[in-house]
Amino acid sequence: MKPSLPANTPSIDQIFTLNAQRPDQWRALITLTRKWIAGETDKQPLEQAFTALSASESFHAYPGTLLLHAMEKALIAGRSDEFLTLAGRISFSILAKYYKNDPSEWMITPGESPVNEILNNDAERPGRPYFELLIVAPQTPHTQRNVTLLHSQRRKEDAFIYEPVLVSSYQDAFCAIATNTNICAVAIFEGFGFKSRFPTPQIDNMMAALNISVDEDNLALQLTEQLALHRPELDIYLLTDQHPQDIASDPRASHIRRILYAVEEPTELHLSILEGINQKYDTPFFNNLKKYAYRPISTFHALPIARGKSIFKSDWIRDMGEFYGRNLFLAESSATTGGLDSLLEPTGNIKIAQQKAARAFGADHCFFVTNGTSTSNKMVLMAVAQPGDIIIVDRNCHKSHHYGAVLGGLKPYYVEAYPLKAYSMYGAVPLKTIKQALLNLKAENKLDRVRVIDLTNCTFDGHIYNTRRVMEECLAIKPDLVFLWDEAWFGFAHWSPFLRPRTAMGAAAELEKWLKDPQSAQRYAEQQQALGEHPTDEQLLATRLIPDPSQVRLRIYQTNSTHKSMSAIRQGSMVLVKDVDFYLIEPQLHEAVFAHSTTSPNQQLIASMDVARRQMELEGYGLVSNAIQTALDIRHQINTHPLISRYFHVLGADEMIPAEFRESGFRDFLTPDTHWSDTLPALRDDEFFLDPTRITLLCGQAGFDGTQFKNILANQYDIQLNKTSRNSVLLQTNINNTRSDVAQLIHVLLEISRDIDDKLGHAGPAGQQQFQQRVQSLMQDVPDLPNFSYFDQQFRDDTDGKIAVEGDIRTAFFRSWDPRSYEYIPLHSEECDRRLKEGPLMVSAKMVIPYPPGFPILVPGQVINQDVITFMRKLDVKEVHGYEARLGLQILKTTD
């Protein structure tokens, strides 16, 4: 059968969705087969579907040519029952992943003992982790021989088992690593061509959009570069007939794990492949903790539950032991010896585990933190800045940054995110606002005191910065700025080729490359010339500024709550560092770690970060692709369902991000005819991009406020979520979601929608009007979001009569420790109104944070204005940190 695809089949390069569509494609094939057997259709559509399926299956080891040929033969011969049986068995094996553990799944007849020499070493397969090796090689008998030889190297003793996937072009190789999430290693034999046997419109678009051109002469190294860009975690091996040392000196060869002379023993390749996987699999701290747990140890240190004796021998608390199991207590220890290491002063396996995590996340250094990103943020701020330094910080950031400023005596210069008033939430801080802040500080001669730009990427609601552009333009104004990117929610993004360039470390890698490029200095010089000697602020704000590569110090810190997006136990957090001046910061960071860490870090937490790293390196790409795909599925199903969409709506990128920040013209993932290749220019250029996995679901049109709807989902349907706004809730998908979760959510929303529909049908005009009023109140009568006003004069340091934005939050914070320093003014009092009108100014003693929305509407030392009071009076939430309704607003008494 010729591999020509019928016009309406998905092309093989729908790489973003192809893997998710795989089960559907098989199911459709089975349905067609049944119809054919029942005489409801002739054979041709089935043949076409099978051809299309065979094309995309060529990127997977299973079912492989043996089974696909058997299916093809059955189809041609009209043995329909045999065809159906095979299709059913294979599709189930794919879904249930049986093929990974059971060698008989690869046989034409189940239970048949492997006759093929290639398969007969597999008796030991059960239990061993399985992966696939992509082999890119010209289609020649020689290649077949190489594959057979490589396969015959497998031994019972191997720690892992793999099956090869063979492709013979650059394009096919790219499709294979993009769609086949089992691939963990690639062996490239020189001599293959560029074009796929199949049409690849998406890849062509992508290459055109990103200006990638390929030179047919030197495909192996170019392919290496593209593969490493898309999936940096893959081990790449190059087999060449040239002198390996000639290739090794090419800078592109840095992505290659090992270069082998093609005629060398295949044993070398086989062992290298297993060794490469083992390096990722290896979790030094976790391994040692397991070893430690099984050693007979008498403890005389202070931790009674260690070894579990205080629990298992107890009459009263044995159930705790039964619940958690023995291993937890065997692995509990306060020791830093005996194979364990010290988190505060790591020299052994924790140090190695951190180095492995740094490499995996694309950083130079990584530090595990066992007290959450709340602590990571405070540590970084303390390490990089000192009292009196100015930090430019998103006012709407997590409270750990505000408290970090209090603790470190830093002066926050608050910058505002753009508001999304209709949904009672904030977006992210426009770059213009940040540049303006820097230019203002420059005009006030304070630029030398600005130490850090501190931003949240992505925000709770999914706004992703153009991290590279923000850093480039800020560095053009002050070349030694430190960046702290709070990526609490975004750690997983490193494993998406689409999102990675927008992570702090992804952008850092690109900036490093840019700094080394000799053309960069020229681009900078040209821009300087165009700007002239004394560019105005307007000019600087309107220009996409290029920094001076000879001046730039790249100093980037990222914090992530590993527990929020990966398989770490709650509170597991990482600090990732790429800082050319880290040698200056390291001793300071050390002090900051001492200042903020517990001296009793939890062993299980450290182990879980070690393991989370292993998981992401070996299967993160597939897990994250699945999370994104699941999110797109949810978005699509809610917004297109005829009944659900009457009451619920997922906000698209165009509703979350104003058009001015979507320069590429990208609208939303659901916009008709939008393909993944269209999102690439948006991802590269737009000021903001929406993380598809963070799904803002409007529930106001269903007559629910966010908190109410959250409670309904939790109490009646066991669906948990954490963030709400006045008229929305935030759903998020992560690496643990499955198709069943999507089905369950849609099922529940449908039930709720039906219920509303029924009730409205019986409510009569008065009831319907009441419902409309409720919707109107939730959707239209939304309060203005208050901006930061300003710090009171006693906490400011004005220059030339110009009100300073930054303030001494630390002094303000501790002022209220003196009981004579404050008073309470009830929010709903005449006194409050009088003070607003006539003064004296009301200055907040506290950080006041309502949940939702969860950002501080007041910080210590801030002057309270009408906007804040209006907002607080309209606020209908119960949980407001820093405010006791019984007492009123805590106000600092003014000194005059």
Ligand X SMILES: *Cc1c(COP(=O)(O)O)cnc(C)c1O
Residue 861, C-beta contacts closer than 8 angstroms, at least 6 positions apart: 791, 792, 794, 795, 807, 808, 809, 811, 812, 813, 815, 843, 844, 892
**Least distance from ligand X to the Cβ atom of residue 205, Å:** 35
**Shortest spacing between CB 570 and ligand X, in angstroms:** 8
Name the nearest CA neighbour of 486 among 563, 366, 374: 374
Q: Give the type of residue at 849.
A: I
- CA 442 to CA 449: how far, in whole Å? 10
Residue 747 near residue 753, CB atoms below 8 Å: no
Closer of 357 and 644 to ligand X (Cβ): 357
Q: Which is nearer to ligand X, 183 or 470 (CB)?
A: 470
Residue 855 CB, shortest distance to ligand X, in Å, is: 10
656 close to 690: Cβ distance less than 8 angstroms: yes
| Spatial CA neighbour of 430 closest among 687, 683, 789, 659 | 687
Q: Applying CB under 6 A, does 400 fall inside the site for ligand X?
A: yes
The minimum distance between CB 38 and ligand X, in angstroms, equals 55
Question: For residue 120, what are the CA distances in angstroms to 66, 67, 86, 155, 466?
Answer: 15, 17, 21, 10, 52
Of 173 and 391, the one with the shorter C-beta distance to ligand X is 391
Residues 6+ apart with CB under 8 A from 566: 491, 492, 612, 615, 616, 620, 735
First to last CA, the chain: 92
Interface region with ligand X, contact rule CB under 6 A, candidates 85-93, 206-214, 366-374, 684-692:
366-374
Phi, psi of 450 (to 5 degrees): -80, 120
CB nearer ligand X, residue 559 or residue 629: 559
Q: Are strands 879-881 and 849-851 parallel, antiparallel or unpaired?
A: antiparallel
Q: Which of 171, 373, 567, 727 binds ligand X (CB under 6 A)?
A: 373
| Residue 567 binds ligand X, judged by CB under 6 A | no
* Contact of 191 with 135, CB cutoff 8 Å: no
Assign residue 389 a region (left: φ > 0; alpha: ψ between -120 and 50; beta: otherwise).
Answer: beta
Q: Does 702 bind ligand X (CB under 6 A)?
A: no
Q: Site mask, ligand X, residues 106-125, x = CB under 6 A?
A: --------------------
Nearest-CB residue for ligand X: 372
Strand partners, 731: 695
Tell me the window of 337-345, 370-378, 548-556, 607-615 that interacts with ligand X (CB under 6 A).
370-378
Distance from C-alpha of 121 to C-alpha of 591, rounded to nearest angstrom: 55
- Stretch 488-527 residues interacting with ligand X (CB under 6 A): 488-489
Burial class (CB in 10 A: 0-12, 13-18, 19+), 88: middle
Give the alpha-carbon dihedral of 106, 107, 108, 114, to 10 degrees.
160
Residue number with CB closer to ligand X (14 or 400): 400
Query: What span, in angstroms and rounded, lies between the C-alpha atoms of 651 and 267?
Result: 54
Please tell me the count of residues contacting ligand X according to CB under 6 A: 12
Look at residue 369 and give its three-state secondary structure.
strand
* CB nearer ligand X, residue 151 or residue 398: 398
C-beta of 58 vs 373, nearer to ligand X: 373
In the sheet with 258-261, reading across from the earlier edge strand, the strands are: 161-167, 130-136, 183-189, 235-240, 258-261
Among 101, 127, 103, residue whose Cα is nearest residue 114: 103
Nearer to ligand X, 437 or 488 (CB): 488
**Residue 572 Cβ vs ligand X, minimum distance, rounded to whole Å:** 8
CA atoms within 13 A on the CB side of 782: 21
Closer to ligand X by CB, 233 or 486: give it: 486
Minimum CB distance to ligand X smaller for 484 or for 872: 484
Which parts of 53-82 interact with ligand X (CB under 6 A)? none
Q: Which is nearer to ligand X, 222 or 374 (CB)?
A: 374
Q: Between 13 and 486, name the residue whose CB sits nearer to ligand X.
A: 486
Among 63, 244, 346, 372, binds ligand X (CB under 6 A): 372
Nearest distance, CB of residue 401 and ligand X, angstroms: 8
Binding mask 644-673 toward ligand X (x if CB under 6 A, else -) reads ------------------------------
Q: Are the CB atoms for 331 and 310 separated by under 8 Å?
A: no
CB of 722 to ligand X, least distance (A): 10
Q: What's the min distance (Å) between Cβ of 702 and ligand X?
A: 27
565 binds ligand X (CB under 6 A): no
Q: Which two tokens stand for residue 673?
A: 């005819």
The residues, any chain, with a CB within 8 Å of residue 26's CB and separated by 6 or more, are 53, 87, 90, 91, 94
Give me the least distance between CB of 417 and ligand X, in Å please.
12
Between 130 and 489, name the residue whose CB sits nearer to ligand X.
489
Least Cβ distance, residue 172 to ligand X (angstroms): 41
Pick between residue 373 and residue 626 the one whose CB is nearest to ligand X: 373
CB of 560 to ligand X, least distance (A): 9
Identify residues 450-489 at the interface with ligand X (CB under 6 A): 456, 460, 486, 488-489
Whats the size of the chain, residue-wise? 896
Helix (H, G, I), strand (E, B) or coil at 649: strand
Query: Could you give the count of Cα atoms lying within 13 Å of 571 in the half-sphere of its Cβ?
Result: 13
- What are the φ/ψ torsions at residue 556 (nearest 5 degrees)? -125, 130
* Beta carbon of residue 854, minimum distance to ligand X (angstroms, whole number): 9
Q: Which of 181, 467, 573, 727 binds ligand X (CB under 6 A)?
A: 573
Binding residue (CB under 6 A) for ligand X from 398, 500, 710, 846: 398
Taking the complex as a whole, how short is the minimal distance between the CB of residue 315 and ligand X, in angstroms? Answer: 37
561 lines the binding site for ligand X (CB under 6 A): yes
Nearer to ligand X, 460 or 813 (CB): 460
Q: How far is the CB of 486 from ligand X (least distance, A)?
A: 5
Q: Rounded to the nearest 10 degrees, what angle do helices 582-596 and 372-384 cross at?
A: 130
Stretches 280-288, 322-330, 335-343, 371-379: which one binds ligand X (CB under 6 A)? Answer: 371-379
- Of 258 and 694, nearer to ligand X (C-beta) is 694
Going from the C-alpha of 723 to that of each of 181, 320, 462, 753, 853, the distances in angstroms are 31, 32, 12, 21, 8
Minimum CB separation of residue 385 from ligand X in Å reads 18
CB-nearer residue toward ligand X: 121 or 573: 573
Minimum Å distance from CB 857 to ligand X? 17
Spatial separation of the C-alpha atoms in residues 256 and 228, rounded to whole Å: 9
Q: In angstroms, give the least distance from the CB of 460 to ligand X.
A: 6
Three-state DSSP class for residue 111: coil
CB of 400 to ligand X, least distance (A): 5
Q: Which part of the chain contacts ligand X (CB under 6 A), choosing from 91-99, 225-233, 367-375, 403-411?
A: 367-375
Q: Confirm or reject binding of residue 374 to ligand X (CB under 6 A).
A: yes
Residue 474: is the preceding peptide bond cis (ω within 30°)?
A: no
- Binding to ligand X, residues 246-285 (CB under 6 A): none
* By the rule CB under 6 A, 734 interacts with ligand X: no
Of the pair 137, 369, the CB lying nearest ligand X is at 369
Output the six-digit token pair for 758: 């029924």
Residues that bind ligand X (CB under 6 A): 372-374, 398, 400, 456, 460, 486, 488-489, 561, 573
